[in-house]
Each structure stands twice: as structure tokens, then as C-alpha cells.
Chains A and B, each alone.
Chain A
């Protein structure tokens, strides 16, 4: 009896919670936080099973380190066309890692929600129902054994994010943000679907991971160029879901939802699905270095661009949203780098591992940061950092845990963010030897690290240090209740320490099966020596430290006045350009208003004039013909008799002429 055999229960429990909370009415759960306790219990059970399963897989407890189980769903045998779809479970080390991250963070977020959503009244039931569904489908996505099944869960994740971002749907901005998130990710979803079509044909009508990963890529229908297109489209799906350039603009707007939802979307569920998709497709992706290069470049651009947008935003949640986009960019950069290097040299570097490592670390510190921000918002009832300040006196625990999160994301050793970020940058530099473009990406990565440190500490200093700028809010601020700060404390410990997984064999555990890669040094001292004997490590630390120092100078010591950045019209223009998100919001609107609307007008014209024209034409021909023909109905009996006689005569004559009668 292995725990892995119970893996099918993992998504079931939150789904049960969804059904129970969602359909059993308000009255039953009026006392129990609108079903919040049911959601917690179910999430906790599935978290427990997840952890046991993940431990079993990661520690090699299950023979073969890979658990597979599947049921036949559709099977169409045939000579030219035959295909098979299965429904099943596929847990390798990657899925195990995702299980830990998703289930653990989701559980903490749900617990935290009990405090945060306490004042929402009857709406709570809807909240807990959807959030349970969200957790369930995300776990289902992670456990899927084939692309089709993943796609189904993928769409459900999109649906849940739509419902949760638009939780306060009476607010127009929330409603439109939800729509935006849904529509923008839809662009990616369509690409994902196209990729699946190509895979479906190319891999002979079977989308099982097992089938695809063991496929002989020489036999791919359509050849390598088609495979490249397929992987590119698959990556396109990830771009939409993970908010990468140029489909990133929905994520900052998604901040309209409750902060807990943001934490869930950013740390555990939604956006991690894209990274997971690319990591999952890794054995296919490494066959197509062109796609991997695109992945790396998109990741690098996104990381840098999102970081610049975070520099001057006054909204505490928006800053965190940009930082999520930026960190996701890092992950894609890492995955692209690792895959590209492997595709060219057939030797593994740390790209893939560090990307996944960063995913895990990011999940912990981003959940921590968002939930801390939630605690701050809960205390002062505003999201505008310009109205905060000096809150560390009031919110002692929150300020402390958030500081840990900030240091972690900034990349200061020995906190978790440092280890993964450093490893990513090191592997990017290494790949530079194969393609000089990676040197450029490396520089972008370092710049991003600098900016990350700056904006995170800008956020922290503006929120917690200095003089309170809004005294009314300051007076009413209070520390979060226990149900909120306990999850924060747990996350803080993990944000501090999850990086040490590197010393516990993370490198060896999370290695794609195709790469027979072993970490160079097994003991802690060896790893440390490797890391700290390279100048790149010091460069990234220095970049982070400079960022923090700059933030310190600007917001604590005030020796640099932040106003210098808007002092001249030119600088002001840059400042506004960043606030306007590089014009992407306007760009999306332009696409929506001009391109789509223009196209719609054309289609509308076609529909009205051509399609309706044909239909109406038939109708009016019939009407006119009828008008002509009805004149035949004179009403005179003798006319009819004449017609009958004429017809009869005609038949007789024809019979005479054509024979038969005589």
C-alpha cells in the first residue's frame, strides 16, 4: 500500500467542499463562517495526502519514482485514424513538487481567509465554494496524465480566476478586470489548443505524457518544424496563463479581487499553471531549441519590463502583482535557458532545476508578501501606499514577516530567493557561451534583481517606516487576528528556509527524466564553495544590496528626494509611461476598440448585407413570385375548368406524340 495510490483523492476533497458549500445553502453554514471551516478541513485533508504522496515520490519511496494510473476514456481504433484519450494520474517529481506548493499554500490561504473575509456576510459562502473549486481543479491540473485532461482543468482554473477576480462584481472595475483576465488568458488558451491539435496529429492521436515523452521524435508527423510550431503554441498557452509579455496586462488588474485570491492566484494556482505546463512539456520542448530560445527571451523581457513598472506604482498590491510577473519571467528565463542549453549540447545545466526551485521559493515568499499586504489593507482599509507609513509600530508581526519576504525576494543570502535566483542567473551566464544573446539576458536579469530589491524595499519602507501620512487610518490600524498571522508566520519560516532544500538534494530530486544530471557536489560545503567561488554570485548580491540601499536613501534617509524623478518634463514622461504600463492597457483597449470593433463592423456588415441579404432575397423572390402566380387564381370557375381541360389535352397530345397510348 503506497500513499500514491490515494492520489486520486487529492482533488476530490476540495471538490466535495465546493459541492457541499456551494449547493447546501446559506442556513447550514451561517454559524460556520459561510462554510469556511468545511473548506479548511477539506483543503487540509487533501494537503495531508499531497504531502505524503509528494514525500513518497521525492524520497524514492515509490518504485520507479513515477506513479501512473489511468482509465480509458475514448478509444477509436482505425487504420488511418485512430486515437485514444485516457483520464489518469501521473506523478513524477515535478508533479510532486507542485503538489506540495499548491496544496500547502492553498490551505494556508483558506485559513487566512477566515480572518480576512470575516466581514463579507453572505458572500462568504460563494467565496469558499469557488476557492475550493479553484484548489481542486488546480490539483487536478497538476495530477493530470495527459494534455487533454490538463486542458480541461486549465480552462476550469481560468473560470475560477474569473469568478474570484470578479468577486465584488458590483464594482465596475472588478467586473471589467475579471473579464479582462478571462479574455486575455483566452488568447493563450486558443494557442494552447492549437498546440494540442498539432501534438494530437503529430504524436499519432495520443496525448498521454507517457506516450509523448517516450516518443521517437523522428516519427513526428510534420517533422521538426511542425514540432517547433506545436511547442511554440503550447508556450503561448503558458504566456497567457502566466501573464508573460505581451499578454501580461491582465494580472495587475486582477488585483481587484480580494487579497487572498491574489495570493492564491499568484503563489499557488493560476499563474503557476503556465510555468508548470512548460516544465511538464520539457522533454518535448528540448527537441525544439528555437522555442526554448523564445521562452528564454520572453522570460527575460517580461522580468525586466514588469520590474520597471513596479518601480513607481503607488498601489501596494499592484507592486506585488508586477513583481509576480517579473519573477515568473525569471522562471521562464530559467526554463528556456536550461532547455536551450540541453538542446544544443545534450548536457544539462541548472536551468530547469533552478526554475522549479524558484517556483517553489517564489510560491512561499509571494504568498507571504500578499497575505501580509492583505493584513496591512485589513488594518488601514486602503491599498494606496502614500496613505500608509509608520505602521511597523502598530503591525509588529506583519512588518516583521513582510520584511523577511522582502529580503527573500530581493535575493539576499541566506534567504530562499537568493539561492534560486543566483542559480538561474548562473545558468543563463553559462548558456551565454552557446549563444551571446544569453549574455544580454543575463544583464537584464541582473538589472531586474537590482530593481526587485529597490521596489520591494520601497514598498516596505513606505508602508512600515517613516511618519504616518494618514493619521486617521493610522489610529485605527490594528494587528491582524491570530487566524491571519499564524499562516503568515508559517510562510515566513518557509520563505526564510525553503532555499535550504538545495542542500537536501533538491537538485537531484527535481531533474527531468531525460536529463541524467547529477549535482556536482553533494555535501553542503561543496555546494556553498561552488556558489560563492563565482563572481556572478557577488554581482547579484551587490545588485540587490544597491537596490535596497537606494530605497533606504530615498525613503528613510531622504537624502535623495523621490521627486527628482519627475523634476523635468522628460523624466515625468518616463514616470507616466511606467505608470501607464508601457501603454499596454491602452494598447489592449485599442485592440479591443479599434481592431476587434472594426473587424466586428466588417463582420456585422457581412452578416447584415450578405448573409441576411441572401436569406431576405429568397424571401422576397418567393413573395414576388407568389404575387405574380396568385393572379392565376381568378375565382372564375370556368378559368379553372379551362386549365383542367388544357392540361388534360396536353397530356393526351404528349401521350400521342411520345407513344404509349396507341
Chain B
């Protein structure tokens, strides 16, 4: 049995990488992928705690979270598609219309 600390450590590392990517990457698709990373870091936590406590609720949550992530990706990709159609770019540093 792998100790829960390893799961939590992996999850923290994944989350940090994801957060970093969201903040610094220019490509919108990469940012979306980084968000997936963060979500999955959370899923690992759910599952790890579920196994640790012997309680299935966490796993159910992980499944729900995956479903929502799929939906979110669909919406996100649609937005990016539209962005590309109107602005010919998916670089986040080039879309700053909503500002002062």
C-alpha cells in the first residue's frame, strides 16, 4: 500500500505545474490543458482520500469531476474556436479587449 503522502505530493506537484502553466502560457489550448492538469490533481486527492478512509464518496466525486471537465473542455474549445475565427489568433497575450 502506497502511503497517502505520495499521492498528495504528486497531486500538489501536478497542481503547481498546472497553475504555473495557466499563468504563463500564451497559447489558449495549452492553458486549457493546464486547467485539466489542475482538475486531475484534485481528482487524485479525491481518490487518494477515498482509498485512505475506505469511503466511496470520493471516487464518486472524481467521476462527477471528470464528467464536468469534459463539458468544460467542450465549452472552452468552442470559445477558442470562435476566438480564432474572429481574431485569427489563440494567443492570450493578444486578446485584451476587455480592459480600461
Contacts and interface: CB of A to CB of B under 8 A. Distances in A.
A and B interact: yes
Interface of A: 630-631, 633-638, 641-642, 645
A630 B100 contact: yes
Contacts of B92: 636-638
B93 to A, nearest CB: 7
B99 A633 contact: yes
11 contacts: A635-B96, A635-B97, A635-B99, A636-B92, A636-B96, A636-B99, A637-B92, A638-B22, A638-B31, A641-B22, A645-B19
A631 B98 CA distance: 12
A638 to B, nearest CB: 5
B93 A636 contact: yes
B23 interface: yes
A633 B96 CA distance: 10
B2 interface: no
Contacts of B3: none
Contact of A635 (B24, B31, B98): B98
Contacts of B93: 636
A40 B50 CA distance: 105
A633 B31 CA distance: 20
Nearest to B100: A630
Interface in B61-80: none
A433 B92 CA distance: 107
A634 B23 contact: no
A628 to B, nearest CB: 11
Interface of B: 19, 22-24, 31, 92-93, 95-100
Contacts of B98: 633, 635
A72 B31 CA distance: 82
B26 to A, nearest CB: 9
A635 B95 CA distance: 7
Contacts of A638: 22-24, 31, 92
Contacts of B24: 638
Is chain A's binding surface mostly helix, strand, loop or mixed? helix
Nearest to A637: B92
Given A636-B92, A636-B93, A641 B100 contact: no
Contacts of A634: 96, 99-100
B96 A631 contact: no
A428 B25 CA distance: 107
Contacts of A630: 100
A623 to B, nearest CB: 14
B100 A631 contact: yes
Given A636-B99, A638-B92, 14 more contacts: A630-B100, A631-B100, A633-B99, A634-B96, A635-B98, A635-B99, A635-B100, A636-B92, A636-B93, A636-B96, A638-B24, A641-B22, A645-B19, A645-B23
Contacts of A631: 100
* Closest CB pairs A-B (n = 3): A635-B99, A635-B96, A630-B100
A337 B22 CA distance: 100
Nearest to B97: A635
Nearest to B20: A645
Nearest to A630: B100
Contacts of A645: 19, 23
Contacts of A641: 22-23
A121 B35 CA distance: 91
A631 B99 CA distance: 8
A641 B31 CA distance: 11
Contacts of B95: 635, 637
Most chain B beta carbons < 10 A, residue from A637, A642, A645: A637
B8 to A, nearest CB: 15
Contacts of B97: 635
Contacts of B23: 638, 641-642, 645
B9 to A, nearest CB: 18
Most chain A beta carbons < 10 A, residue from B23, B24, B92, B93: B23
A652 to B, nearest CB: 13
A634 B92 CA distance: 12
Contacts of A642: 23
B15 to A, nearest CB: 11
Contacts of B19: 645
B22 A633 contact: no
Contacts of B31: 638
A148 B30 CA distance: 85
A534 to B, nearest CB: 98
A635 B93 CA distance: 9
Nearest to A649: B19
Contacts of A633: 98-100
B78 to A, nearest CB: 16
A645 B22 CA distance: 11
A576 to B, nearest CB: 74
A634 B99 CA distance: 5
A634 B95 CA distance: 10
Contacts of B100: 630-631, 633-635
Nearest to B28: A637
A620 B63 CA distance: 54
A635 B98 CA distance: 5
Nearest to A638: B23
Nearest to A626: B100
Contacts of A636: 92-93, 96, 99
Nearest to A646: B23
A644 to B, nearest CB: 10
A599 to B, nearest CB: 47
